[in-house]
Amino acid sequence: MRTSSRVTALPPEDLDRIRSRGVDDFGNELVVMTEQDEGGRPLRCCLREARVGERFVLLACQPAKTGGAYAEVGPVFIHADPCAGYPTDNVYPEGFRHRNQLFRAYDRDGWQVDNRLVEGHDAESAIGDLFDRPEVSYVHSRNALPGCYMFTISRACSAA
């Protein structure tokens, strides 16, 4: 990536809490399903697609913690059981490279300042373009058609 950035999946501690309670943060009961198809559901815990035979759940998620008008709640898939998470936070997720994404750029106060429809193979270029704008603090990657949250891209912290 042209601009040093960090890719963040859903926080494991949040997912552990939700799994242990059996309901998401909005009171929806977790229903365990098993992936039946190749090219399965995009998992927001480890940023890859579910494989045939893997157990997953669908839950409601609010990725923007700033509140306000952009604090949307939407559906996301995660493994039903804890997984290793996303191990390479400085690399765009290979498991999503074939997917078109909507990149929504936000400022530090959570106000949306830009949107880009991006083909996965061109993700780094779009991320660099967005982070060239000094007001962009972070970017949400969303599924292009349904608009569901996928992951967050933020500026990497630099050592002083």
Q: What is the pLDDT of residue 54?
A: 97
Interacting residues of 27 by C-beta distance below 8 A, sequence separation 6+: none
Whether residue 95 has pLDDT greater than 60: yes
**In this predicted model, what pLDDT tens digit does every residue of 110-123 receive, in sequence order?**
999 999 999 988 99
- Both 18 and 70 in one domain: the answer is yes
Record the pTM: 0.91
- Both 59 and 94 in one domain: the answer is no
What's the domain range around 149? 88-155
Average pLDDT, rounded, for the chain: 91
Domain count, the chain: 2
Please classify residue 90 by burial: count the beta carbons closer than 10 Å to its beta carbon, then call 0-12 exposed, 13-18 middle and 19+ buried.
Answer: exposed
Whether residue 1 has pLDDT greater than 70: no
- Both 73 and 102 in one domain: the answer is no
- Both 70 and 98 in one domain: the answer is no
Per-residue pLDDT, averaged over 126-132, amounts to: 95
**In this predicted model, what pLDDT tens digit does every residue of 78-89 receive, in sequence order?**
999 999 999 988
